[in-house]
Amino acid sequence: MQISTNQSISPVTTEINKEGNLSIGGCDLVGLAKKYETPLYVLDETTLRSICKDYKEAFSPYKNVNMMYASKALCTIATSAILAEEGFGFDVVSAGEIYTVYNAGVDMKKVLFNGNNKSVSEINLALELGVGRFSVDNFLELALLNELAKSKNKIAEILLRITPGIECHTHEYIQTGHLDSKFGFDLTQIDDAVSLILDEYSNLKLKGLHAHIGSQIFETKVYHDEIEILVKELARLDEKFGLQLDEINIGGGLGVKYTDKDCPPSTYEIAGIIIESLNNSVKKYGIDFPTLFIEPGRSIISTSGVTLYTIGSSKQVPNGKKYFAIDGGMADNARPSMYQAEYTASVANKPDAEISQCVTIAGRFCESGDVLIQNIKLPNLEEGDILCVYNTGAYNYSMASNYNRVQKPAMVLVNNSQSDIIIERETLDDLISHDRIPDRLKK
């Protein structure tokens, strides 16, 4: 089976350079840390484009495919521009993501607006900027979207998001397709929703169905089950309502390799299963081949990203763990404290050094749970060493906070030995730029 980029822990351009340091995109990581300071998010353009090409090649046997990048994984103007160049559309979930892709010059007809509680202002923005699809999550949104579209004399093309009742084996917080979920219409509610669209909501045009079964998925059978349910529903709705719906959105969720014990399927394996399942289900239920929407996020962006930290203080617990602290932690990578996520790391300034100890990498923030990596085997560490944590492209910057009033890191894009800032490091003035003090408190 052909491998794909999501099955690699490190970016595809990772190497040890002639100075003996780790290099990504032809850029010395120690040099990047010195030039831009740490913590520093580093994104490899070659790796990002590589996984895009993997997806397009893997799904090329199916003639009607729309690749939609799940922006929540990482949304910046630069990454949006690259993904648009690679032919991707965008799954967005907020006004901020809509505005970001719009300012990246994205064709807004290739944007789908998802989310379980869209606000009036967000829907209005999406309508004004010409977002191509709305994935409608509930009855309130149906009524609200119809009302707002009517006020603008527009027809909003929609998918109904459903919960297919599939529970994948991933962290409970990132399961979204099981029955007890905050997302989507239950299968028993679909007919009522369709009746409302046909009888009352004349400014909505139903195009198909949308389901998303979770994130960091390693199983393959779940995609077969999901497609079976969606195609069966298209056939049933056509027979009952004469709709001839021709779109299904199966979401994303393909996993990545954070550690050696992770074995995610390749894009090629997943594509083969999805295409085979579509062929079988379409034949079984007697419908035309629908347009397929797929929404990879983590598997598109994660492997291309690393985060650089500087080693600071250390502590040996008597008869216990050896801790080394870094200059970042849970505010720039919330996943270990939220999901018990695990990571792999190297020492960028001595990647070839002998592995000599098992240590725990602790963050700098005022929480006992701010531990980035438990029990990792590394060379002898010293203050000032540069730690490179792999596979941090997804959900690290997008979930970052200013906890402890610490500034968010910068992000650089590397390619062909060139580095470019794509997100500026926050300054202290940035931190207080939105603070206001009432006149009555001023001295």
Task: Compute the distance between CA of residue 301 and CA of residue 391 in angstroms, rounded to an integer.
Answer: 9
Task: Compute the distance between CA of residue 170 and CA of residue 179 in angstroms, rounded to an integer.
Answer: 15
DSSP string across 339-376: H-----EEETT-TTSPP-EEEEEE-SSS-TT-EEEEEE
Interval 33-42: pLDDT, tens: 999 999 999 9
Q: What is the pLDDT of residue 220?
A: 85
Hey, which residues does 326 pair with through a beta bridge?
A: 311
Q: What is the pLDDT of residue 171?
A: 37
Q: What is the pLDDT of residue 215?
A: 85
Task: Compute the distance between CA of residue 232 and CA of residue 185 in angstroms, rounded to an integer.
Answer: 16
Instruction: Return phi, psi of residue 249, to 5°.
Output: -115, 115
Interval 272-307: pLDDT, tens: 999 999 999 999 999 999 999 999 999 999 999 999
Domains of the chain: 5-43+306-432 (2.40.37.10), 44-301 (3.20.20.10)
Query: What is the model's pTM?
Result: 0.94
Q: What is the pLDDT of residue 172?
A: 41
Helices (H), 262-366: 267-285, 298-301, 335-339
Q: What is the pLDDT of residue 170?
A: 46
Residues of the chain with pLDDT under 50: 168-178
| H-run or E-run covering 331 | none
Q: What is the pLDDT of residue 3?
A: 94
Q: What is the pLDDT of residue 221?
A: 86
Respond yes or no: is residue 388 known to be catalytic: no
Task: Compute the distance between CA of residue 124 and CA of residue 256 in angstroms, rounded to an integer.
Answer: 35
Helices (H), 111-157: 120-129, 139-151
- Per the residue annotation, which of 27, 263, 366, 388 is the catalytic one? 366
Cβ distance 363 to 330 under 8 Å? yes
Q: What is the pLDDT of residue 213?
A: 87
3-class SS of residue 7: helix
